Amino acid sequence: MRTSAPLFAAVAAIATLVAVFPALAGSPPPDLVEMERQVSLALAHVRDSGPTDPVKRKQLFDANQLEQKGEAAIKSGDYKSAEDSLLKAREILRRLRDISN
């Protein structure tokens, strides 16, 4: 019985830290929020122009997936992963806009 009390306390402490950790991260950096907004707007613009070429549609799909992955990473507090995903999506969208112009 003696070993179960400290074990229970340790498990409870770890569970509390895991539950509180996302709150400790605070809000995302403003430049990351701005990048996410810009990528979302660029994605909407490219989507509206409606590429019909299968290769471009695949690239648009990939950019969309990366943008969603970035959003999810922001929500989970993984800002580095979010930045990486959004930068990749932004690069794909730039290439799609350059090709269509």
- Structural domain includes residue 11: no
| Domain around 63 | 27-100
- Structural domain includes residue 16: no
User: Going residue by residue through the chain (101 aa), what tens digit of pLDDT does each one get?
Assistant: 455 655 555 555 565 555 555 545 578 999 999 999 999 999 998 888 877 789 889 999 999 999 999 999 999 999 999 999 999 999 999 998 887 66
- Structural domain includes residue 50: yes
- Structural domain includes residue 15: no
- Structural domain includes residue 81: yes
DSSP 101: -
Q: Please, what sign has the CA dihedral across residues 79, 85, 87, 90?
A: negative
How many folded domains does the chain comprise?
1
- Structural domain includes residue 62: yes
- Structural domain includes residue 9: no
Prediction pTM value: 0.70
- Structural domain includes residue 45: yes
